[in-house]
Amino acid sequence: MLHSNLSVNENHHLTLCGADTAELAKKYGTPLYLLDETRVREKCRTYQRAMKTYFSPEARPLYASKALSFKGIYRLAKEEGMAVDVVSPGELYIALSAGMNPADIYFHGNAKTMADIRYAMDAGIGYFVADNKTELARISDYAKEKGIMQKVLLRITPGIDPHTFDAVNTGKVDSKFGSAIATGQAEEIFNYARSQAGIELCGFHCHIGSQIFDEKPFCDAADLMLTFMVGLRDKYGYTAKVLNLGGGIGVRYVESDPYIDIDDTLRLVGAHLHKICEETGYPMPQILMEPGRSLVADAGVTLYEVQNVKTITGYKSYAAIDGGMTDNPRYALYGSKYTVLLANRADEEADFTCTVAGRCCESGDLIGENMLLPKPNAGDILAVLVTGAYNYAMASNYNCIPKLPIVMIADGKDTLAVRRETYEDMIACQL
């Protein structure tokens, strides 16, 4: 199986974290998101252990909660001692509702409104990751009004292309995020931040992209960021306390994707960081990283019921399911690849090629093309693997389709964490 939390039981059913997925489809109905809580907790612990061991005892992973944002995941993050980053006041609201300590929350985004800034600062947020001068001026003004010093990291663009798909590539110089070292604008915004009375500048942040499968891009980013920081120390006598290296560790969606060992990757990045700090005499900053996808993606499986199978004579076959781009828009958006199987016939040979199509009135509403399955029948349960990240988080109500529930599974036991949206929920805001 693609990941070690997946297996097939004696009834030929797919299991996730030991739970029979076909039985869960019966119990909760379809379509349905499952999330292996045990897996997410293991990943949190791996990141924490590795970062504290290989970087320094102060190092900390922040869960990039845009990947999957609901109360239960913030509660889990809190229990695991994780800090989180949020990209909107909505995510902040949910994190606070789940009882997270605001001091453990970092606020990202390239277009924060004045209302966002006030809300976050009134809530006592730990850090802003500031993107631009206008934002810095707004933060400083409001901090002065409140009589506080607001902790801030600056988002810097180191100018790295980690060779991933362009739409999820943010470390290059012409990115909409942050200030580039190469153009001199990073130094400029550093000076600007230091001139703002309400701001305590704690350090720097970069995020170079997603689906990165080896340590090299992180080492390159660390090189560029530390070279920049050493330059500021030598020129202005400023030493940063914090260096945030962002997220982006890759996840295996299909058999042909590479596998990345998180512990080993962080060990290599850590060794590299210690080497640069020794060579330059720069004190090791508190290193932060922001895993999103790699914490939750392979903990997720989506279950659908097959509604019909249509073969267009001489062309191709479609298997139509009771969900689609409203619960997983990633194929429609990016052409992202997924692995599918039949949860109730999980060990049958997959010798039928088809396009898995969603139920929306939109030809592009597909889960994937040329996918291999045992020939499906109406009523079979189709499982899409590795849907824990950027599925629920990106779900919509297009065609007025209600959002799916999330069932969490811990040590084989299932608990409803998000209930299925109702038609009443959908019209709750409509006057």
Residues 323-342 that bind ligand PLP (CB under 6 A): none
Binding part of the chain for ligand PLP, among 247-255, 270-278, 330-338, 423-431 by CB under 6 A, reads: 247-255
Count CB neighbours of 195 within 10 A.
11
CB of 300 vs ligand PLP, minimal distance in Å:
13
Report d(CA 30, CA 223) in Å as an integer.
48
Report d(CA 64, CA 92) in Å as an integer.
12
Taking a C-beta distance cutoff of 8 angstroms, is the pair 11, 20 a contact?
yes
Taking a C-beta distance cutoff of 8 angstroms, is the pair 118, 142 a contact?
yes
Q: Which is nearer to ligand PLP, 14 or 64 (CB)?
A: 64
Exposure b/e, 21-45, CB count within 10 A at least 16 = b: bbbbbeebebbbbbbbbbbbbebbe
The contact mask relative to ligand PLP for 18-47 (x = CB under 6 A, - = no) is ------------------------------
Binding part of the chain for ligand PLP, among 130-138, 286-294, 328-336, 402-410 by CB under 6 A, reads: 286-294
C-beta nearest to ligand PLP: residue = 292
Q: Kindly list the distances between the CA atom of residue 340 and the CA atoms of 255, 256, 374, in Å, as whole numbers in the listed order.
A: 11, 14, 10
First to last CA, the chain: 49
Q: Which is nearer to ligand PLP, 217 or 246 (CB)?
A: 246
The contact mask relative to ligand PLP for 62-91 (x = CB under 6 A, - = no) is --x-xx------------------------
Residue in 294, 302, 328, 344 binding ligand PLP, rule: CB under 6 A: 294
Count CB neighbours of 230 within 10 A.
17
Q: How many residues bind ligand PLP (CB under 6 A)?
A: 15
CA torsion, ordered 124, 125, 128, 133, to nearest 10 deg: -30
CA torsion, ordered 370, 371, 377, 379, to nearest 10 deg: -130
Catalytic residues: 361
Q: Which is nearer to ligand PLP, 22 or 386 (CB)?
A: 386
CB of 262 vs ligand PLP, minimal distance in Å:
11
Q: Which is nearer to ligand PLP, 335 or 364 (CB)?
A: 335
140 binds ligand PLP (CB under 6 A): no
Q: Which tokens go with 40?
A: 């997410």
Residue in 108, 138, 151, 330 binding ligand PLP, rule: CB under 6 A: 108
Residues that bind ligand PLP (CB under 6 A): 64, 66-67, 108, 207, 210, 246-249, 290-294
